[in-house]
Amino acid sequence: MKHREQLDRPSRAVVALLLSFAAGIFAPSARAQQSPQCTVKPASVPLGQTVRLFCDLPSNVPVATARLAAGPNGLTVRLFKQASGEWQGLMPIAVKDSPGTFPIDFLAADGTTLASVTLTIRKTIFPSQNVNLAPQIEALHSTPEEMQTLTTFRDSVSDVKYWDDPLAAPLLGCIISPFGVARLHNGKPTGEFHGGIDQRAAQGTPIRAVAAGVVKIVQPFNVLGGTVAIDHGQGLETMYLHMSKLNVAVGALVKKGDVIGYAGATGRATGPHLHWVVYVNGVPQNPQQWVALKSCTAPKTKS
Ligand SMILES: [Zn+2]
């Protein structure tokens, strides 16, 4: 056996060399009918963060989606063909997803699997945080109409990509409360986690759109206070809460950095601050993956 292996090794190397040489010669013609090449970045992700999906697909594939087979139902998101010809998509990993290793399957419109890539979801520890609320603040509740408005917003995925990397911070204040912390109100667990981040902001501080997009909601809500929500396209949305004054109209096309409103303490808030949210295909994601922001050295609790 040993003798045979020694004979085989050089011949295998020669074959490999010849194959790579042949691949080099035939690369241009082979590329036109290549099989789909799909990648995910990053390949290992904590809970609450977004995985970017990239695919080179044959030009005869009209529509493509990606399905993450994690959780009870999994999640399917759309891919969008970019000007470069590459297909891209955003796969959100929810705070309540299960850690583990799962396939992301890339699917054609007829359900055929075009490619499959492995994703690792890492175990992620989120701290818990108590917020003391005055009785009249704790008594605030969303109406069914408000809930429906938010659901409609989260469920819409517009085809046009308005946004570009990198996103810009909506204001410069440090982070008072990070994403994902389990929330207690007056010492009682709420069963909810903090679905965005809170940034320190004096009353009246201008709040800017983190990216270009179409304004979908401009409205005072009972719990969320003065709210603006923006659809940035191809699965990315943001929402800004507790504002004292709103500075845009529904349907407006905003640019990155446009002032959309001013910081306040409206709705369920214990003081002026900005709470803002990143939704990726309807799932709240950690804004700190998208925008570099510092934590405050002396954290205070805000809702
Ligand atoms: Zn908040």
User: Distance from the CA of 270 to the center of ligand 1, in angstroms?
Assistant: 10
Q: Write out the DSSP string of 238-254.
A: EEEEEESEE---TT-EE
Return all residues near 212 (Cβ < 8 A) that are at least 6 apart: 162, 163, 164, 232, 253, 254, 255, 256
Better-scored residue on pLDDT, 227 or 18: 227
Q: What pLDDT band is residue 72 in, cutting at 50, 70 and 90?
A: low
User: Distance from the CA of 166 to the center of ligand 1, in angstroms?
Assistant: 23
User: Distance from the CA of 194 to the center of ligand 1, in angstroms?
Assistant: 6
Return all residues near 150 (Cβ < 8 A) that are at least 6 apart: 217, 229
Better-scored residue on pLDDT, 139 or 7: 139
List C-alpha distances in Å: 196 to 12, 130, 173, 209: 55, 16, 15, 15
Reported as a single tens digit per residue, the pLDDT across 155-209 is 998 999 999 999 999 999 999 999 999 988 899 988 889 999 999 999 999 999 9
Q: Could you give the domains of the chain? A: 37-122 (2.60.40.1930), 128-289 (2.70.70.10)
User: Distance from the CA of 157 to the center of ligand 1, in angstroms?
Assistant: 24
User: Distance from the CA of 204 to the center of ligand 1, in angstroms?
Assistant: 17
Sheet holding 128-131, edge to edge: 128-131, 182-185, 188-193
Give dist(CA 64, CA 88) in Å, integer.
10
User: Distance from the CA of 303 to the center of ligand 1, in angstroms?
Assistant: 4
Return all residues near 206 (Cβ < 8 A) that are at least 6 apart: 171, 259, 262, 263
User: Distance from the CA of 198 to the center of ligand 1, in angstroms?
Assistant: 5
Give dist(CA 168, CA 145) in Å, integer.
31
In the structure, how many helices (H) and strands (E) does the chain have? 3, 23
User: Distance from the CA of 42 to the center of ligand 1, in angstroms?
Assistant: 27
CB atoms within 10 A of CB 121: 22
Reported as a single tens digit per residue, the pLDDT across 79-133 is 999 999 999 999 999 999 999 999 999 999 888 999 999 999 999 999 898 888 8
Q: Is the link from the previous residue into 42 a cis peptide, with omega within 30 of 0?
A: yes
Which residues are placed with Cβ below 5 angstroms of ligand 1, an ion?
Answer: 198, 275
User: Distance from the CA of 222 to the center of ligand 1, in angstroms?
Assistant: 14
User: Distance from the CA of 295 to the center of ligand 1, in angstroms?
Assistant: 14
User: Distance from the CA of 288 to the center of ligand 1, in angstroms?
Assistant: 14
